[in-house]
Every structure is written in structure tokens, then in C-alpha cells.
Amino acid sequence: MQTFNRRQVLQTAGGGLGWLALQSMFHQQAAVASGTKSLDHPARAKAVIQIFCPGGMSQVDTFDYKPELEKRSGKPFDPDGKLQFFASKPGNCQSSFWDFKQHGESGLWVSDLFPKLAKQVDDLAFIYSMQSKTALHGPACFMMNTGFTLPGFPSMGSWVTYGLGSESEDLPAFVVLPDPKGLPPGGIINWGAGFLPAVHQATTLDSRAGQQPINDLFPPKDFAEVDRASDQAGLDFLQTLNREHLAQRQGDTDLEARMSAYELAARLQLSAPELSDLSRESAATQEMYGMNYETTGDFGRQCLLARRLVERGVRFVQLYCGAENTTAKKIRPNWDSHEDVVRDHGHWGRVLDTGASALLADLKRSGLLDETLVICTTEFGRQPAAQGAKAAGRDHNAGAFTAWLAGGGIKGGVGYGATDELGFKAVKNPTYCYDLHATALHLLGIDHTKLSFYHNGIQRRLTDVHGHVIPAILRS
């Protein structure tokens, strides 16, 4: 007679319950049993939605208006020939490929690349003086996500769930929605748990229409032996075995938590399909998110799923507007516009503008924006000088880029920091990811200096030994 161990019984009875999600459920139930970390001060936000734009969004073509760059457009950026950019020698100064205008009561400048977000500037706080320590895509993505340029450190989402746990009983605490076109530079390490317990790694959801949101959550369609009734019978039998096993091991809290996790994973079979069924959203909502159009549909769906996730108690949602770093076919698959800014930023600008503006409007309409911190960032910026034979591209620039935040205790209609007159380098309040992370944790009720984990003889933090909260962008 063939014998099975407990894991094989689970996988057979459940038809594969989505192992990563199951592990996440295991941790959450254990955290609920033991009590999550107490807040260091009253929280302004309960959840975070982070939009990440891989490739390097150009600050001087989007949010950082530079009149002097317009005046010097076409003149040598580096007359002495002493500078070397990441992949090129500096060309002539190149003004924005889009016109800038002032918007809202705040009068903040936004380029015509973002006509919809421009109408929401009074809800946004811009950090114009962001910098990175590297102009390499992978390490710069790691730095923005984990605070370190090297792989292997916990992501911000992992730190947040380590500190706060989840408010949802039926969904993971940390969810990532990658661009359907592929993973970002550096891949899944961007949302890894590093040296934190592995359960803090994100659960990745497939946002594409018609796809299972989590792999192996349901039996294969051609696996006729398992239906809902037989699946439940198998789980009931497994529960009986587990209870007998636990009875011989009183006081084993890990075992009891794992058993509860199996039950949560079974509930995930109900919650995940309901979550991803966007047909329940009104036609007007789907239109607002641009879901009916080829260019904007994928990211619009990601943004709508992000709203539904935080609505259901998910603590941290990260979505990617762009994929891996490769050369262009029709367009580049992310914001890395070395050859043609108008072509690549023109495409991705429309994508981000449609999805992000809809997300902000939807959160505000539902009352969720007050308790949801929305962050939009990239790994570094681009140079104010032209690149390429056609002078139509821009090279990498670790010295300056722009991030924006909204909701969750953020003061709208403000700008913080500044770059020089050409947008080449941050000169006023230079800001690194440490300060952005410290501010986000502060809004969640966490003192970034106290959220730590002992690893290899060091009490590690998301902000390492750096970081300051930015009061200028916080509501009083």
C-alpha cells in the first residue's frame, strides 16, 4: 500500500493550494496568535500602495520644471568635456520634450505628459531631490526597495509586515503585482524577505484577466478526481490527522499555527477569485482605469486590484509600471529611454497617468485615501543632456530624480528639496531612500530606528544607520 507524508496529503487533497501564499498565511496566523508589534506612535496610515517605475523616469520631462534648461537647450552641457555619464559622454542640453504648466491651487508644475495627474497635484507631495548611490538598474532597484544596493536584504514591504502583520484573515499581508510583460531588473529579489523569516516575502499575484491569481491555488482543469466536495473531504481528513498529531505535541505553537494556515489557505480559494473578479466593478470604474484599452489596460487592472486589496485589509501592495531592462522592439519595456524619450516615456506616461490618477480618485471617493499611503517612485532619474545620434534619448542619472506621495497623512500640494538649475543634481535637501522609508514607516506608526532584526551580529534596520522623517510633507 502506498503511503503519504503530511505534505503529500495536503498537496493531493488540495490540488496544490499555492505554496507561497500558504506560507504567508502561516505567518499571519502565528502573528495574530502572538500579537503584532505595538505602534510607537499613532498611525496616520493603515496600508501602503507603492507604484514602482523601473528603468529610470526622467525628472526634467515629468515633474521637475527647469526654465534654465529651456534657455540653454541645444548648447553644450559640458563644454570642457570632463564629465562622463553612465553610458555616454554628455551631449547638448535638452529641454523637456513636453511643455510644463502650473496646476491646482498650489501652482505646482507638471508636464503635459501627465494631464490627469496634473489635476490632482493638490493631493500630491513631491520630493524633487531624490538621489541614489548607483546608476545600475538592478542595484538601484534594490536600493529603492530594500535600502541596500546589494541583493539579500529585506524589502520595505517585508519590514512593514514584520512590524505590523496583516488586517486580513483571508489574504496575504504583502502582495506584489508585477508588470504582465515580465519582472523588473533584479527580479523577485526586489520583494524578497532577505534575512527576515521567509514568510515575510511577498505573495505575487497574476493580474492578467482570465488567469489564476495564484499558481496552483486550484486543481488543474483536467484533474477530474477533485471537485469542491472531494476537496473539502480531503481537507477535513487532513484536519483530523493534524489534530491527532497535535495532541501528542502539546505546546507546539508552530504546529498549531501551521494547521490554522492550512485552513486559511482553503479560505483563500474563495477570497482570491472574488478579489480578481473585476467584472463586479462598474463600467464607469473600468473605463476610468483605462481597462478597455490595449495600452492602459494591464496597468489599469493592476491599480484597480491594488485598491481592492487594501480595501480587504492587505497591508502592503506593490505594483510595477514597467518590466525588465531590454532593448526596444516597438518601445522599451520600461522607462529606460536611452534612444527615444518621446517614444518610451510617451507610452509609459500614458500608462502611469491613467492608472495612478484613477487609483487616487477611487481611493479618495471611497474614503480610503486618508488611511492609505500611496508612493510613486523609480530607481534613478535621467540626464538633462541629450543622448544618442538623434539626440532623442537621455542617459542614467543617480544624482537626481523625483518621487511623489499621497494620502495617509501626506500634505498635498507641496514640493520638498530641489535640483540645480538644469536638473542635474540634488542641491537642496538631498534625499535618499532612507528618508522616504523612514517617513513611510512613521506614517504607519513605526519609529524606523526601533524596527530591527538581529542578523549576523548586527541589529539590522530598513534604514540601516541613516534616515530622517520628512516633516515638510506631513499633514499637521
Query: Looking at residue 256, what is its pLDDT?
Result: 54
Domain count, the chain: 1
Return all residues near 89 (Cβ < 8 A) that are at least 6 apart: 78, 81, 83
pLDDT tens-digit series, residues 202-230: 989 987 776 676 665 566 666 656 665 66
Compute and round to an integer the Cα radius of gyration of the chain. 23
pTM of the model: 0.86
Phi-psi region of 33 (alpha: psi -120 to 50; beta: other; left: phi over 0): alpha
pLDDT tens-digit series, residues 148-177: 999 999 999 999 999 998 888 888 899 999
pLDDT band at 231 (very low <50, low <70, confident <90, very high): low
Distance CA 153, CA 310 (A): 25
Query: Looking at residue 217, what is its pLDDT?
Result: 59
- Sort strands 414-416 and 124-130 into parallel, antiparallel or unpaired: parallel
| Single-letter code of the amino acid located at 140 | A
Query: Looking at residue 265, what is its pLDDT?
Result: 59
Query: How many helices, marked H, and strands, marked E, lie in the chain?
Result: 11, 16
Indicate the burial class of 469 (C-beta count within 10 angstroms; 0-12, 13-18, 19 or more). middle
- What are the φ and ψ backbone dihedral angles of 110, each rounded to 5 degrees? -140, 140
Residue with cell 509600471: 321
Q: Which domain holds residue 447?
A: 38-209+278-473
258: number of Cβ within 10 Å:
19
pLDDT tens-digit series, residues 18-56: 444 454 445 444 443 333 467 999 999 999 999 999 999
| Single-letter code of the amino acid located at 26 | F
Tell me the CATH number at 64. 3.40.720.10
pLDDT tens-digit series, residues 239-274: 787 777 767 776 654 555 455 556 655 666 666 677
Query: Looking at residue 9, what is its pLDDT?
Result: 43
- Note whether residue 429 is domain-resident: yes
- Note whether residue 44 is domain-resident: yes
- Note whether residue 439 is domain-resident: yes
Query: Looking at residue 224, what is its pLDDT?
Result: 58
Spatial contact of 190 and 155, defined as CB atoms under 8 Å apart: yes
- Note whether residue 463 is domain-resident: yes
Return all residues near 441 (Cβ < 8 A) that are at least 6 apart: 159, 160, 163, 447, 448, 451, 462
The mean of the pLDDT values for the chain is 87
Helix H, strand E, coil C: the string for 58-90 is CHHHCCCCCHHHHHCCCCECCCCCCCCCCCCCC
pLDDT tens-digit series, residues 48-78: 999 999 999 999 999 999 999 999 999 999 9
- Residue 204 grid cell: 505575487
Query: Looking at residue 168, what is its pLDDT?
Result: 83
- Note whether residue 21 is domain-resident: no
- Note whether residue 255 is domain-resident: no
Q: Pick the residue with more confidence: 200 or 420?
A: 420
Query: Looking at residue 277, what is its pLDDT?
Result: 86
- Note whether residue 345 is domain-resident: yes
- Note whether residue 48 is domain-resident: yes
Share of the chain above pLDDT 70, in %: 82
pLDDT tens-digit series, residues 93-150: 999 999 999 999 999 999 999 999 999 999 999 999 999 999 999 999 999 999 999 9
Q: Pick the residue with more confidence: 201 or 274?
A: 201
Q: Pick the residue with more confidence: 295 or 4?
A: 295
| Single-letter code of the amino acid located at 389 | A
Beta bridge partners of residue 460, listed in sequence order: 453
Return all residues near 193 (Cβ < 8 A) that are at least 6 apart: 154, 155, 158, 199, 200, 201
Spatial contact of 174 and 157, defined as CB atoms under 8 Å apart: yes
Query: Looking at residue 223, what is its pLDDT?
Result: 62
Indicate the burial class of 63 (C-beta count within 10 angstroms; 0-12, 13-18, 19 or more). buried
Examine the pLDDT at 233 and tell me if it is beyond 90: no
What are the angstrom distances between the C-alpha of 377 and each of 217, 292, 417? 32, 26, 15
Spatial contact of 317 and 48, defined as CB atoms under 8 Å apart: yes
Query: Looking at residue 257, what is its pLDDT?
Result: 44
